[in-house]
Amino acid sequence: MTTLKQVSSVRCFDGEQRRYEHQASTLNCIMQFSVFLPPQALDGDHVPAVLWLSGLTCTDENFSSKAGAQRIAAELGLALIIPDTSPRGDDVADDDAYDFGKGAGFYVNATEQPWAKHYQMYDYITKELLDVVHSELPLNGKLSISGHSMGGHGALIMALREKERFASVSAFAPIAHPSACPWGLKAFSGYLGEDRATWQQYDAVALLRDGHDCPPLLVDQGGADNFLAEQLNFSVLEETVAKQDVLAQLRLQDGYDHSYYFIASFIEDHLRFHHSYLTR
């Protein structure tokens, strides 16, 4: 069993914002991740959790410091599990671009070299990390998932492929159809190779079209998002969800961009949405 080392803890809304590190066997490197434990967990209760996946260039600390999620998570008694976005370390392959390599793991299991040795982010999140937090932290096993941009893509594909694990799923400005946008084309060809049939398991629109069941879904997309037209395929996601039997709310929020100001504006809606399913 992986041994967790707590590297920091600060008081926050009568809970604790913590940071841990561990040797990640899936990724062959040391990883850090952040956790918010609400006051109920510190008082001895085992609580439900929301797994948050961040976007390009982020670490495990962007969401915890910018989204303002702890206040409502403390009120609702929700833990927040916030992993990093890629493997880390001097031995980990990298790229000079912001949208590939470290900080841009795209939540896939890479098959191409030199990426395959470390970039097994799908298995790290869905297997190793979730096993570790549920064995080491005061969680009750009930789990929902959310994320932003690249992390929204990760949240959607994990919820579609691991439906039995997640009570609900939400996303802010997700890369909904990565097989058909520049970010996804670059990442998938680099990590997975040129056989596009292998990409479909990491594409939310493709998974929905293939008939994968989806937990209850909430998506917010900013209408002033500068990545909306070229990268995010929100309208394609809308059309695909409409054709499937999905309990879903997809909201276009006029005037909002791609930033954490957007996330902070609607994170309470998302946590209350997840709480409603986690406590049923």
DSSP 154-200: HHHHHHHHSGGG-S-EEEES----GGGSHHHHHHHHHHH-S-GGGGG
Instruction: Return the domain boundaries, the chain.
Output: 5-278
When the pLDDT of each residue in the chain is averaged and rounded to a whole number, the result is 97
With beta carbons less than 8 A apart as the criterion, state whether 72 and 272 touch: yes
Torsion of CA 26, 3, 37, 176, to 10 degrees: 0
130 closest CA partner among 143, 117, 116, 119? 143
Q: What is the pTM of this model?
A: 0.97
Please state the rounded mean pLDDT for residues 234-260: 97
195/199 Cα distance (integer angstroms): 7
The upper half-sphere exposure of residue 129, i.e. CA atoms within 13 Å in the direction of its Cβ, equals 28
Structure tokens at 233: 């395929």
* In the predicted structure, residue 48 carries a pLDDT above the cut 70: yes
Report, in angstroms and rounded to the nearest whole number, the Rg of the chain calculated over CA atoms. 17
Q: Which residues are catalytic?
A: 149, 225, 258
* In the predicted structure, residue 93 carries a pLDDT above the cut 60: yes
| pLDDT for the residue 1 | 55
pLDDT tens, 124-176? 999 999 999 999 999 999 999 999 999 999 999 999 999 999 999 999 999 99
**Would you mind telling me the total number of residues written for the chain in this entry?**
280
Pairing of strands 248-253, 47-53: unpaired
266/262 Cα distance (integer angstroms): 7
The DSSP 8-state label assigned to residue 234 in this structure reads: H
Q: Strand, helix or coil at 62?
A: helix
Pairing of strands 29-37, 15-24: antiparallel
Please state the rounded mean pLDDT for residues 67-84: 98
Confidence of residue 3 (pLDDT cuts 50, 70, 90): confident
How many angstroms separate the Cα of 238 from the Cα of each of 49, 162, 206, 208, 256? 27, 21, 13, 11, 18
Please state the rounded mean pLDDT for residues 202-219: 97
pLDDT tens, 23-32? 999 999 999 9
CATH of domain 5-278: 3.40.50.1820
